[in-house]
Structure 1
């Protein structure tokens, strides 16, 4: 296969993903002879009191408000559902409490999305994207204090609906192969601005989002890093 050059070239990003971590119960399942006793004896995490209460109350309430047939017919969630998921911070599950979010674990987030999706795929995905593909987690890890204090509370409350554009015609979800770029520059008033050159094929929540986040590379002067 290698001599015929039939195997695709693995990018650095793909190699990191392939070599990261180790196997868990997935190895048991794919072995064809899983040891269910060992699988069931694993020390799985439990939901916190707050997470379980949220599932038993707020999640049940929003599911009762949602009719999937109506959502499909209208092409959107009803306004009462939108109002409720914003009010109860469904869009800020992973955002820390100090920034106005719920501060849920990955397990709590997953349990909520699983329940929502069982009632309506649209409802589940609408709440899933801001908590996974949205910018909140990137801001939590890499944002400045100014970014966090401004954006995170607004994202948690749903004041801004985040949408995320990564996939490109030739890149798929391989962030290391993106060709979209942005050039930083100073505008006439001295404000730092960015000029984008991009093409995307998938823009999560793009049709109704307020805050648009793009994956790409920086092509401008390095002196502007850390100042925007």
Structure 2
């Protein structure tokens, strides 16, 4: 049975996609046209595959699901094997939905970064920041500690200090900056410039730093 979705062929221009999935490789630096050394991050995007097309009639909203980075079938559940088989593609490690796009896509369509991004444009990068564990207020929030070591303070250099008054309000306000788990959160860095595209290696070079450790998944949004 043929798929009910009709593939829209883009003969000119670029795909009207809001973004792609990639993997952070690491950081380096290059010299721009003015001779200035610019810190940048390498992201390998690889081919992204459309694994599901959602419609208001079936799913209640319009979206396309994109998969990236192949994984072994033996590590994939039977339900997901059937899901990827419909798109005629290998099982994927990372799946992301994009709701804002132009045109029509079919199951199994391959999205390449050179058809979506261009050198010189600005993108947003979404990733998961590095987890730092349970940290104190100095590292987590940049507190300066209580007093100074020369004023009789021998064990208060990294302490948080008072957290509230006694009689009024007789409680601690919600959201007070205190010690706790740091990192490991979804972070978006905006307005990073696309410096170079390397289609042969599926690499995108963007200016500045992006959240996450090496080999972590990121979402490149336009």
Range of TM-score over shorter length:
under 0.3
TM-score (norm 2): 0.23
Which has the larger share of strand? 2
TM-score (norm 1): 0.22
- Answer 1 or 2: higher relative contact order, Cα 8 Å, separation at least 6: 2
